[in-house]
Amino acid sequence: MAKKAQHEHESEVASTEVPPQQSSDLPQDEVDAAAEEVVDKSEKTQSKAGKGGSSKTSSGKAASGKAKAAAGTDADKKDNNAQHDYTFDDAGAGASLTFPLQCSALRINGHVIIKGRPCKIVDMSTSKTGKHGHAKINLTGIDIFNGRKYEDLSPSTHNMDVPNIKRAEYTLIDIVEDFLSLMNDAGEMKEDVKLPEGDLGEKISTDFNDGKVLLVTILKAMDEEAAISYKEAPKKE
């Protein structure tokens, strides 16, 4: 009886056990294949994303490189321009002492270099055309600094050197040991011009000692300077 009761109890327990969970209707090999496909798609997506980011990064680097190259080119152009600007100014500051001009274009009261000296032309005459077909011009000039007379003869078609001449006006501040102490409009002093010899120098000294305010004209050519004239400054009201 005891054995029968125990057998019935085991049967009841077996009947009350939870049935096992039903598996998927798909075969296991198809499930595995689907899972692998999902994994493959995920990996491909990540790979594309990585490549896209890398491409964008490369594009960004390329664009940055182009921008830097362009900036460098602009900087080089500016430097060249600056250099070009710095070379042009330098040439202006150190301009040639002379410039060429055809002899036939020279005129009386103009200037020309004769025997290496800057001269004012006081006389010109043209000779008859020779057998070679070139007329010649006789030039007579007076040195603008020492007053000496010079002559030259040149074919009319040849170039002559003409001096670059500058004039500037200064206020006479003092006369020290036969040198003029001068001041320009900007207040800059100049003390390397000698008092002219002869009547001009004497008149400048006399009028200055009389208390007159004098404006002296300084002529510069061929690296030489000289006082060539003066006048009394207008009186301020």
Q: For each successive 10 residues of the chain (237 residues), what is the average pLDDT?
A: 48 44 50 57 54 47 50 45 31 70 95 96 87 85 95 94 96 96 96 94 96 96 95 85
pLDDT score, position 92: 39
Complete DSSP assignment for the chain: -HHHHHHHHHHHHHHHSPPPPPPPSS-HHHHHHHHHHHHHHHHHHHHHHHHHHHHHHHHHHHHHHHHHHHHHHHHHHHHHHHHHHHHHHHHHHT--SEEEEEGGG--TTSEEEETTEEEEEEEEEEPPP-TTS--EEEEEEEETTT--EEEEEEETTSEEEEE--EEEEEEEEEEETTEEEEE-TTS-EEEEEEPPSSHHHHHHHHHHHTT--EEEEEEEETTEEEEEEEEEPPPP-
**Which pLDDT score is estimated for 179?**
96
pLDDT of the residue at 19: 43
pLDDT, residue 16, reads: 44
